[in-house]
Amino acid sequence: MPDLAKLKAFDIDGASLSLWVFKKRVPKGAAPIYTGRWAEIGDDLTTEIKRVTATSIARIEEVIEYSHLAQNHETSVLTISTAETHAGLLKDKAAAQQENKRVRNSADLENIEFYAFRFVKDETVLYAIRKADQSWKTRKRRDIVSVVLQNHELVLDRTPSFNISKAVDFFVYDEAIFIAAKQNFESVLAYKAGHQDDFVEMQAEDAFKGAFVDLEEIVKFVGDNKIQLRRISAIRQKGHYKDRVFMDNLRRLYKENGLNIVFDGSGKIVPSEETCRDIFQALLDHRLGSDFSRRKYDVPDTSSVTV
């Protein structure tokens, strides 16, 4: 498990700071391509960025291992190794403040995907990353008229302005990622594309194909929905459809567990629009029973315990 104490011990006040902005494109079937530029920042902004980052780290009390369906709350973060993500590509782009990567004008800032605060202390590097809001999008600016109060009257403000949030989506530190905002993390590091690739590969797996009469209804059910893409990736990660004992138990006990699933004469699942939800619950092993209340429950995620 990544070391939260080491993250909290990082000397933000004593670290040097640079601000990087990134644009991103994701070629089909390939890793994301990041284009990064660094911007000069004034003393007041430097102080505020350090305060925001320190506050965001200080609120963390708990770490939870990242999974496709895991969720954190206000005082916890999800954690995952950088080796399991595209974070290395991002870090490579921000490794040095080269002159040809300096922000020259507002066009270099417009339509960015995200920005990163890069802190360096004694050759140790911390990244605090946030997905850009609509103030960085030119399309949004076309729809509004910016004004400022000047000498007791409102006047036009033609100077481009950009918002920096008082929250951080995730931190990259010591080969680990600490995630406060899962959806933004997955967007920045192209995790949805990874889920889509997972599903394409699953459809070619003999074990997965062999569990069903056909996959047409499963493909329609998943579609481009980010939640179902996460769920199908979790199904692949758990791999219950490859477990003969699990599948035999499912065929034997699905009615007892109130699952709306249809099997053909050979024991293969027959998917339909009405049954896909329960098929997913079963393959995720998310239909659980309480020994105390004798009730059955659907759960969003599971964590094994030793008894």
pLDDT, tens digit, 9 for 90 and up, residues 206-239: 999 999 999 999 999 999 888 898 899 889 989 9
The C-alpha angle 105, 110, 115, rounded to 5 degrees, equals 100
Q: Range with the lowest mean pLDDT among 73-77, 187-191, 248-252? A: 187-191
Query: What is the rounded average pLDDT for all residues in the chain?
Result: 90
pLDDT, tens digit, 9 for 90 and up, residues 133-163: 998 988 766 777 777 778 888 878 777 788 9
Query: pTM for this structure?
Result: 0.75
Given a cut of 80, whether residue 29 has pLDDT beyond it is no
List the domain boundaries for the chain.
Answer: 4-133+164-189, 193-298
**High-pLDDT (> 70) share of the chain, %:** 98
The two structure tokens encoding residue 60: 């963390």
